[in-house]
Homo-oligomer: A and B are copies of this chain.
Amino acid sequence: MARELDHPDIGTVSLDTVLAALADPIRREIITQLSTGHNDQACIAFDLPVSKSTSTHHFRVLREAGLITQRYEGTAIRNTLRCEDMDTRFPGLLDAVIDAECRTRSQGANRLVGVDATVGA
């Protein structure tokens, strides 16, 4: 019954923190996967080109920025995107970033190596 994770009130999250969180390509990868069918998945379900501890770090930054919710389920964690909360706080911002990310991706020249072919798997 320990294992409670802190989530910020959406009213208190700062634009600074949100944009800093979104400025990292790995974290945008997570957000994008969450928004395209990977919602409510464990952290390992995301095929990220970094070590486990780095991955933990990125998920935490996203949670503390108010972008995702993390809830324990056994040993794993369910990650969900806080779409509505973010749209309340900063309307259009998250959608614009996800859209921009997808747009960049379909243009080829993906900066995030090692994930290209396995995203859909």
A12's nearest neighbour on chain B, judged by CB, is B109
The stretch from A2-10, A14-22, A36-44, A54-62 touching chain B is A14-22
Contacting residues, chain B, for A46 (C-beta < 8 A): none
From B23, B92, B99, give the contact of A16 (CB < 8 A): B23
Q: Are A14 and B100 touching (Cβ within 8 A)?
A: no
Dominant SS at the A interface?
Answer: helix
Query: Which residues 75-99 of A sit at the B interface, judged by CB distance below 8 A?
Result: 89-93, 95-97, 99
Is the pair B92, A96 in contact by a Cβ cutoff of 8 Å? yes
Q: A104 is contacted by which of B15, B92, B100 (Cβ under 8 Å)?
A: B15
Contact status B101-A15, CB under 8 Å: yes
Query: Is B104's CB under 8 angstroms from A93's CB?
Result: no
Shortest CB distance A64–B (Å): 15
A20 to B90, CA, bound (A): 18
Least Cβ–Cβ distance between A29 and chain B, in angstroms: 11
Contacts of A101 in B (CB 8 A): 15
**Further contacts, 12 of them, CB under 8 A, given A15-B100, A92-B99:** A15-B104, A16-B111, A19-B22, A19-B97, A22-B23, A91-B96, A91-B100, A92-B92, A93-B93, A93-B96, A93-B97, A96-B96
